[in-house]
Amino acid sequence: MNIKEVVNDSEWQSIRISMLGTWKMKAPKNCQELKEYLGDFSDSLKVRRVHNYLTGTAFRIGLIKAKEITELLIEIRNFKNRYERERNTA
């Protein structure tokens, strides 16, 4: 699946657009909104969208940073690792 197909979701686009220019002042709120979007992590496309977003250039080079972002990325990585382990043992 190419990236255009991954991000082709109106709910995701609305969330992403609402966060433009707000990260320096609203990182905790934005991360909470992303967690609500992810829910129980059962939708792999949502997990992929959020992970891709939080590892984009501005985050990766440190223009946007906050402990909440790091914590959410750790949650996502832990979930992905658990999912892969479960998949490999099934």
5-39 pLDDT, tens digit per residue, is 888 899 999 999 999 999 999 999 999 999 999 99
Domains: count for the chain: 1
The Cα-based distances of 71 to 9, 76, 77 in angstroms read 25, 9, 10
Q: Which domain holds residue 59?
A: 3-89
C-alpha 39: how far from chain center? 11
pTM, whole model, 2 decimals? 0.89
